Chains A and B, each alone.
Chain A
Amino acid sequence: DTAVSQTPKYLVTQMGNDKSIKCEQNLGHDTMYWYKQDSKKFLKIMFSYNNKELIINETVPNRFSPKSPDKAHLNLHINSLELGDSAVYFCASSLRPGLAGVSYNEQFFGPGTRLTVL
């Protein structure tokens, strides 16, 4: 009964490879996010999706391509991996503010995927 799950938990790969990280939430939320946390713990939003539609793209290189097949899933595919992509990637979900009396954006985070590019 995990709320927000991510797979895999760890990912070690060579530079130049293509990899995917999967995210699923069972909270009934309609909004999902990807964050990147660097080695200094700085957490930066990459993408926001609402009802499978891209809302925010924070100037992320187009090597990163999120895919949302349905509201409960937001996967992240990364092409041509670079050393600088090494980080912990967090998926999160929330209800869209304005729905069902929700006026703020309380996000629920997955456990993270530690990506190491060699």
Chain B
Amino acid sequence: AQSVTQPDIHITVSEGASLELRCNYSYGATPYLFWYVQSPGQGLQLLLKYFSGDTLVQGIKGFEAEFKRSQSSFNLRKPSVHWSDAAEYFCAVERGGGFKTIFGAGTRLFVKA
């Protein structure tokens, strides 16, 4: 069965510091991979996605993620975090052509001044 693991429940970084949020998935073939962000009291917004091609994908708000098949990982990165990035981040996997997206448990990002 498909699954998504986000090992870090929460992470705190200083404003201006770099960020990496970890995501590991379990799926037989190459899945479609997503990162979503949820600001407090809001719905989820897509940051970026990967389904084929270049394994380094760029998203909105200066985020990027790298797909590593050998590690079954799709980690999210940002070189310099802004206070407005404080939110909950969800990694998700979807079997291509399916209607079912599996979300990880989320990582809460705190940004300190």
Contacts and interface: CB of A to CB of B under 8 A. Distances in A.
Interface of A: 4, 31, 33, 40-45, 48, 50, 55-56, 58, 90, 92, 96-98, 103-112
A110 B97 contact: no
What size tier do the contact residues of chain B reach? Answer: 20 to 34
A106 B49 CA distance: 8
Nearest to B50: A104
Contact of A42 (B36, B46, B105): B105
Nearest to B107: A41
**Main secondary structure on chain B at its contact with chain A?**
strand
Contacts of B106: 41-43
Given A42-B106, A104-B32, A105-B32, A48 B43 contact: no
A108 B52 CA distance: 21
17 contacts: A4-B43, A33-B99, A41-B88, A41-B105, A42-B103, A42-B106, A43-B106, A50-B99, A55-B99, A90-B44, A92-B43, A97-B98, A105-B32, A105-B101, A106-B49, A108-B46, A112-B43
